[in-house]
Structure 1
Amino acid sequence: MTPAALADFLHEHIPLSRAMNVTAVRASVEEVVLEAPLEPNINVHGTMFGGSAATLGLLAAWSVLHLRLEAEGISNQLVIHRTEMEYLKPIAGTAQAVARLEGADWASFLHTLDRRGKARLKVNAALVFNGEPAARLAGEFVAILER
């Protein structure tokens, strides 16, 4: 899927992404990079609202897992089970969320998904502002097979 196609998909299926003006910089089965400008996500302090930062990270993490499952032809419902967000510094401009599947035990995930019809996988996203880490999201996602 191209970055533009991913952004269109998110805007259509997760309308909040459109309101946040989320764009996709990179979109592959290995890495997704999403970007959001400050203006539609600003808080009273002139920095990015924490909920917007968390949503940007969550969208990136969900997207990389979604793209990998789609590429493998696995029809599923993909939902978030749990997230944890760590804010390292204020984001005073456009932020990027970078999510990768590296380090994930993909084989065990697929085995459990096939055997039980659902499986969990942890995916991390790093939020970057001005080339430096600004926040980290750890998400645990559940894929449920559609049979």
Structure 2
Amino acid sequence: MSDSVPASMAPTRLEQFLHAKIPLTAAMGIRVIQTGPELLILEAPLAPNINHLGTVFGGALHTLPTLACYAALWTLLVEGGLDGHVVVKESHAHYRAPVRGTFRATCARPSPELTATFFDELRRFKKARMDLHSVVPGASGKPAVEFSGSFVAVV
């Protein structure tokens, strides 16, 4: 994994990619806040994601961290010079507290060792799986949502 994210993965470029390829991201008002080498952060406003209780709809609280993990793995492919597809294989979310405003999902980028193993499998088998985790922080600073997912990349 590189120490810096290439210009093609700057927040604005990644946001454009997501809005073009996954229209739901535009409808949800998702913005890419950070695409650094250690952390990827997405953000969405309450208004297009609100439920009848005035809090963020549970589906949106599952979607944003799913997309944070998806984007983290997709940017990894781009950084590795590979043109491929990423799909979610399995996901789980634990809802700990309601979210009442603009919300963010953070996904830690995988370690260099995990990344190397992933790329070895991908080059060998043209397909590789990676488990990723994301958190939606709550107002208290504690996680409002803890997400884990298994993603597959195919080249």
- C-alpha separation between the residues in 2 aligned to 1:29 and 1:11? 22
Counterpart of 2:142 in structure 1 is 132
Q: Report the counterpart of residue 112 of structure 1 in structure 2.
A: 121
Q: Does 1:87 align with 2:95?
A: yes
Deviation at 1:29, TM superposition (A): 4.1
Name the SS for the 1:69 alignment partner: helix
**Deviation for aligned residue 1:18:** 0.5
How far is the alpha carbon of 1:129 from its aligned partner? 3.0
Name the residue aligned to 1:121: 130
- The percentage of counterpart residues that share the same residue type is 37
Residue pairs, 1:1-147, within 5 angstroms: 1-103=9-111, 105-130=114-139, 131-145=141-155
Higher strand share: 1
Calculate the TM-score normalised by the size of structure 2: 0.88
What's the secondary structure of 2:68's corresponding residue?
A: helix
| Contact 2:45–2:101 (8 Å) recurs in 1 | yes
Partner amino acid, structure 2, of 1:113 = L
Contact 1:57–1:126 (CA<8 Å) still a contact in 2? Answer: yes
Unaligned ranges ≥5, structure 1: none
Q: How many angstroms does 1:110 deviate by?
A: 1.4
Q: Give the partner amino acid of 2:60.
A: S
RMSD of aligned alpha carbons = 1.4
8 Å Cα contact 2:40/2:109 also seen in 1: no
Q: Which runs of 5+ in 2 are unaligned?
A: 1-8
Structure 1 runs, 4 residues or longer, greater than 2 Å off: 101-104, 129-132
Q: Give, as a single letter, the amino acid of the residue that structure 2 aligns with 1:126.
A: V
AA in 1 matched with 2:143: P
**Maintained 8 Å contact 1:113/1:144:** yes
Letter in 2 for 1:19: A
Letter of the 1:136 counterpart: E
Matched positions, count? 145
Shift, 1:30, TM fit: 3.0
Of residues 122-131 and 13-22 in structure 1, the stretch that sits farther from structure 2 once superposed is 122-131
Q: CA deviation at 1:117?
A: 1.1
